[in-house]
Amino acid sequence: MSERPSPSAPRRAPRRDALRNDAVVIQAAREVFAEQGPQASMESIAARAGLGVGTIYRRFPGKDALLDAIARLFVQELDEATAAALADPDPAAGLERFLDFVGAFNTEKRRYASLLAGRLGADDEVSRPTFERIRQLTQKAVDAGHLAPDVTGDDIRALVAAIHAVVAAAPDGDGSAWRRFVRIHLAGLRAGRTEG
């Protein structure tokens, strides 16, 4: 019984250059997909990374896996934003901080919406724990009297989806039209008693 971790794997540690390339590929893919959308070719990504296509395929089973990896990255950033917003002692401020993040995120990276579209199903456009946090964030704001009593996490989720679209539809120069949109919608969420 010599201590081999696994009978058939006397593996060596991965080489340093391989590890570095891992990060380089993700970064390049992020940039290229943001610029050209999901139909960007693997070759253009490889070129941006300064690598050959084969190197990408060593790490990722295929283009779809690469797309998924990046989508997961975005969800993770959104996740961190919800966690930060939830930690804010003032519920209203936390909610607005979160919505600010969503708008800024999409403004910076216009094309990400098309990347996420379809890749994450309708009911997990936001990963489940993230949505749970949005729900809590909403509930706190309702309890504090900042939103009408019947407002739910679904309403905020719809608003998030709407922000995507408003950012994408805004004229080129205008990077903050979405702020006005959010302000208006929040006014509706405060005042609106939707006796349904």
Partner DNA sequence: GCGACTCCGGAATGATCGTTCCGATTCGCC
Partner DNA sequence: GGCGAATCGGAACGATCATTCCGGAGTCGC
Kindly list the residues in this chain that would bind a copy of itself in the complex (CB under 8 A): 114, 117, 122-123, 125, 154-155, 157-158, 161-162, 164-166, 168-172, 177, 180-181, 183-189, 191-192, 194, 196
75 binds, among DNA, a copy of itself, none (CB under 5 to 8 A by kind): none
Binding to DNA by residue 51, rule CB under 7 A?
yes
Q: Name every residue whose Cβ is closer than 8 Å to that of residue 100 and which is 6 or more positions away in sequence.
A: none
CB 134 within 8 A of CB 126: yes
Nearer to DNA, 40 or 78 (CB): 40
CB 114 within 8 A of CB 157: no
CA 41 – CA 62 distance, rounded (Å): 12
Among 18, 93, 144, 165, binds DNA (CB under 7 A): 18
User: What is the closest distance, in whole angstroms, from the C-beta atom of residue 164 to DNA in the complex?
Assistant: 24
CA 61 – CA 82 distance, rounded (Å): 31
CA 53 – CA 30 distance, rounded (Å): 16
Among 54, 89, 118, 196, binds DNA (CB under 7 A): 54
